[in-house]
Every structure is written in structure tokens, then in C-alpha cells.
Structure 1
């Protein structure tokens, strides 16, 4: 039986008129930890349909540390992730290949907390004490660098495995003497411990590598360059929107994530903006990496850690997908 010309034309055009949802790609994004304020822009962009508009069906998964996130992305279990940049560089030195496409923390958020009533006055008093954090915590991975910088033996402390949620309770109950945490949680500890809180920020002792960054699997990037470009453009736009007004962003994350205190998350976001701000993000692009700083970070990890597989630092990051008219506020 012969088909009419109109039917043949309809069949020929059918692939061009499929719903956009049919062309959507499922993308799994693994976070460095459980979702908090620094992850709000991803939830906000998703809630606004910005990723879906570009054919990206984004699934956001909680993580178990930057080291675990870097390994997961390198293995292709997640196409995209969030990880501490120095931790990602160390992982690459062991063969876990990732590419950073956007900086989140231009300044390291790493810090150590303790109670002054414990007799600890500063890092020089850390030897003989316990530090509680998760096994894949970036500060545990980078501990030898911190120890050498402040002049103590890296083997002089005992690490205790605790969950991120147990840090304050463990410190308060003296289960641990010291804990590591990101600066964005600073206000929560101030409210809990007041004047008894001791704190040292890595960036204040001259150790300021890049912190969290958005990383991608290099094979996924090579095969899906436009999709990665769209993802980065949307994410950069979302961060800029949240810097301008964080309230809708907090609405979005709190709708999807239980157990978050809004006031605490808002305090966190104010600290996060400090961490996002440097000369590069305010003049080149929000989320941009400085080649000079990245070279310095490579020298740092090469000097203090044994890289099984040395690499070209220029292969570990790109500013290619960032819009230069989207800047971090000064």
C-alpha cells in the first residue's frame, strides 16, 4: 500500500518535533557533603527549571567527603561533583582524573575548632589530642600540610571518625578535643560555645588553596561539551542570583532537604560570600580560577605530598564556560 505524501512528510518530520523532555539527559551530581547553604544555588536553579530548559535532568546526591566525591566523578559514577580543589589535585596525583569547571570557594573554608577550657590555645597545643572528622574529610586529607605549616609532627594527633552532624556534640561532650569544619558553620559554633570557642582558619596562617569547586569527569566533558557549558552557565547564573538575594535559594533547598535551620543557613551564606570573593572572581568572572594560584596550589601539593603521577596543572581546570559579565560582588 502506498503512503500519501502528507503522511510521508509527517513521518520525516517526526524526529524534529519530539518533546524536549525526550531529549533530556539524566545527570547525577554528587556533593562533597550533605546539602547546606553553599549548595542552595543548584537547588534554586533546578527549582526554576533552568537545567531542565537545557535538557538536563539533574539529580543531586549527598556526598561523603571531597575525597570520595573526586573518586566518584573520576570513576564516572557521577558525571559532575563538588569537591575541595586541593583534595581533587591529590586524587589526580593518584590517577583519579577530574576537571574543575567552576570555583565555588576562592578561599579555603578549612579551619579547626576547639574549646579553650580544654587547655588548647592554638595549633601548637594540638599534639597529644584527638581530632574528630569523617575519614574522607578534606582537612584530614590535607592534615600533613597544615601540621608542617604550624610546625608540629603530623603523627602527633589521633583522628577519630565522626559524622559531620556529630562534630559539635562530640566537641561539647569531650569525645574529641578538636574538630575540623568549614568557615560557613562558624556562627553556629559561636552561638553554641561563645567565648570558650577556639578557632584557627587555614587562610590566616598562610595556607589558602582553592576550596570547593565544581568538577566533571573528563570523558563526560569530551563527549558532552555543550551540556557541560550549559550546566556551568546555569550554575554561575544561580550563584549570582543567590548572592543578590539568598531567600529564594534557601526556599528551594529547604523544600527538598529536611533538618535545616533557616537562620543558620542564612548565616552560612553570609560567610560563603566571603569565601567566594577574591581578585579573580570580582574582576574576571564569578567562579573563575587564577592560573597563578592554581600553579601555586600544584606546587603546594607536590611539595608536601607524594604524587604518584605528576601532571600538568593546566589540565585540571578551565574557565572556558564562565561568562565574563557575571562577576562576584566586591
Structure 2
């Protein structure tokens, strides 16, 4: 299932039929988010608002997430055809035999960071020696943190790990921990939006691997390749439009969530957009992936002890053109 879809010529015909006014019932399709809805998901809300999913024959329902583990389980069980999930969790699913296919890679690098208040003067991994670090043991960010510690090759260094239930910001502000580990656009963005000054140590300094991706299950990818191709193309169209029109994209989410912390959501969008685009202002490679990139990511995850088995990426991802 790796490589290109064999249906590249089918999608234009389907879309042309819509344009000609032929009667096609839109298919009800759900996508589960990796976490609670936020501006990082605005590309989905924007594409739905503009009718792009409807034009592709998709009646989209966006479901709030409860973490990548739940996303992987529900997609693998066929309860929802699409979800956003972190590749580390996806790889664990593959290792356990969960029938998943990666349909598009959104982030080409891990957004995991070790963050701390600037006053703590923690700017490199060795500065953590003798300190307390908050980690969420249910998150793959904890394993990434431990890999950062190993790769930093620290000598005679003791770091106390303190379990936290979320991203550690409350514990950081209370002084219960000196630093914490989470995605850069989550708790760190919350603190920055409140005027806190931070230092961050990104995991990408130590290893490179794919991160957030759109996933589907094997049955959907096999029996409904046109649906998968349509969904991914519209999602990527939404991302590129959001990058080019950030204010409109932010508003597409904020008007649906009047209770949201506006300053935080605006900053989170900006931070996530930089991760999406990477080195490309227009994000031309968003959604794409390669066999080499998958092989490298799976090797890194094995080296980090996040997965134990060697996994062949063949048949586990698709490349939508």
C-alpha cells in the first residue's frame, strides 16, 4: 500500500460529476483529533466551512480527541475512518498488529521540547542535572525525553522524574518541577501567551522523525481509496490556505469556540504553522512522505526504545499526489 494510489484518474471524474450537478449523496465521514480542538486543527474547520469537503462528497464530522493512543485504537477498530495521531503511537500500533495506514504526514519533525522558566537558566540537557523534570508517563514524549538524556551522554548526572498528568505547566509555575516535557505548541505556548519567558530544548536537536500524521485503517485504504485521496487532498488544501491566510484560519476555529483562550490559541496557531511549513513558507511538502523517511523514523523509534520490533514501512503508508 506504499507508493501512489492506483486511482489518480478517478478523483477528477468524481469531482467533475459534482460540478455537473449529478446527484451524489455525500458520505458521512468522521475524523478524530489527536487532542481537544484548537487552532492547530483550524485547517479542518476552515475546509469544512468553505465547503471543500462537501464538494469532495464528504459530510465531515470532527470529533474531539483524547490523545494519539485513543485515535490509533478507534481507527484500527474501524470506529472512525480517519484520525490525527503521533507517529510514535502509530508505530506502537503497527507493532501490536493494529491495521493502520498513514495517509499523510503533517509534521516532519517531533515537536517535543523540554521547557522551563527562563529564570531557571536551563538551556541545555546538562543543566537538568540535579533538577526535577515533569513527565507524562502516558505520553510518548516521556520516551523522547529519556532518549534526549541518553543522547546527551551526561556523566554523573542525576535527574528526578516527576509524574505529571498534563503538560507540566502547573507544576512548573508552582515550583514542583524545574522543567517539563510536552509539545512546543501546547503548555509552553500557554505560558508564553501569559507573558512568561521560557527556555526550550527541542528533541529535534537530537533526532529526526516524522510526527503528527493523518491515519486511516487498512480496510478504508483498500476498499475506499478515492475517499482517502479526497480527504487528504482537501485537508492539505486547507493547510496551505491556512498558512497563506492565518487570520481567517484562526477565526474559523475561534468563532466556534467562544470560550477559548484567544491569546493562547492565536500563538499556538503561529507556532504550529511553523512546524507544518518547516523550511518552506508555502508548505509544499505537507502531507507527503517517503519510504526512506519512514524507514528512518521507524529506526529512530526503535533506537529510542519506543518500539522494540523492526518494522518494514512497505504497505503502511500511502502517497497522495
Q: TM-score interval w.r.t. the shorter chain?
A: 0.7 to 0.9
The answer to whether the aligner puts 1:190 opposite 2:192 as a matched pair is yes
Instruction: Tell me, yes or no, if the aligned pair for 1:29 and 1:79 is still in contact at 8 Å.
Output: yes
Task: Name the SS for the 2:37 alignment partner.
Answer: coil
1:56-71 aligned within 5 A:
56-71=58-73
- 2:32 and 2:259 map into 1 onto residues whose CA distance is 19
The residue number in structure 2 matching 1:84 is 86
Instruction: Tell me, yes or no, if the aligned pair for 2:116 and 2:122 is still in contact at 8 Å.
Output: yes
Q: TM-score, normalised to structure 2's length?
A: 0.80
1:160 aligned residue (135, 160, 163) = 163
- 1:246 and 1:51 map into 2 onto residues whose CA distance is 20
1:1-330 aligned within 5 A:
20=24, 23-117=25-119, 120=122, 122-124=124-126, 125=128, 129-133=132-136, 135-151=137-153, 157-163=160-166, 167-185=168-186, 186-192=188-194, 194-195=196-197, 197-203=198-204, 205-278=205-278, 285-305=285-305, 307=307, 310-319=310-319, 321-322=320-321
Task: Name the SS for the 2:113 alignment partner.
Answer: strand
Is 61-70 or 307-316 further displaced after alignment?
A: 307-316
Q: Following TM superposition, by how much is the alpha carbon of 1:34 offset from its aligned partner in structure 2, in angstroms?
A: 1.1
Alignment CA distance shift 1:138-1:78 (3 Å): farther
Please identify which structure carries the higher helix content: 1
Alignment CA distance shift 1:72-1:201 (3 Å): same
Q: Following TM superposition, by how much is the alpha carbon of 1:150 offset from its aligned partner in structure 2, in angstroms?
A: 2.5
The residue number in structure 2 matching 1:4 is none
Q: Deviations over 1:78-126 (max 9, x none)?
A: 2111111122112211222321111111222111112354575543325
Q: TM-score, normalised to structure 1's length?
A: 0.78
Q: Following TM superposition, by how much is the alpha carbon of 1:234 offset from its aligned partner in structure 2, in angstroms?
A: 0.7
- 1:91 and 1:155 map into 2 onto residues whose CA distance is 32
Aligned structure 1 segments of 4 or more residues deviating by more than 6 angstroms: 279-284
- 2:302 and 2:154 map into 1 onto residues whose CA distance is 20
Q: Following TM superposition, by how much is the alpha carbon of 1:152 offset from its aligned partner in structure 2, in angstroms?
A: 5.8
Is 229-238 or 282-291 further displaced after alignment?
A: 282-291
- 2:171 and 2:42 map into 1 onto residues whose CA distance is 27
- 2:91 and 2:177 map into 1 onto residues whose CA distance is 29
Q: Following TM superposition, by how much is the alpha carbon of 1:157 offset from its aligned partner in structure 2, in angstroms?
A: 4.0
- 1:69 and 1:192 map into 2 onto residues whose CA distance is 30
Task: Name the SS for the 1:256 alignment partner.
Answer: coil
Alignment CA distance shift 1:130-1:307 (3 Å): closer
Uncovered stretches (5+) of structure 2, i.e. residues with no partner: 1-20
Instruction: Tell me, yes or no, if the aligned pair for 1:132 and 1:161 is still in contact at 8 Å.
Output: yes
Instruction: Tell me, yes or no, if the aligned pair for 2:134 and 2:163 is still in contact at 8 Å.
Output: yes
Instruction: Tell me, yes or no, if the aligned pair for 2:107 and 2:276 is still in contact at 8 Å.
Output: yes
- 1:74 and 1:155 map into 2 onto residues whose CA distance is 40
- 2:181 and 2:213 map into 1 onto residues whose CA distance is 19
Uncovered stretches (5+) of structure 1, i.e. residues with no partner: 1-16, 323-330
Is 249-258 or 292-301 further displaced after alignment?
A: 249-258
Instruction: Tell me, yes or no, if the aligned pair for 1:67 and 1:136 is still in contact at 8 Å.
Output: no
CA RMSD of aligned residues (A): 3.0
Alignment CA distance shift 1:271-1:284 (3 Å): closer
Q: Deviations over 1:125-158 (max 9, x none)?
A: 256624143x543312544433322236999543
Instruction: Tell me, yes or no, if the aligned pair for 2:39 and 2:254 is still in contact at 8 Å.
Output: no
Alignment CA distance shift 1:278-1:251 (3 Å): closer
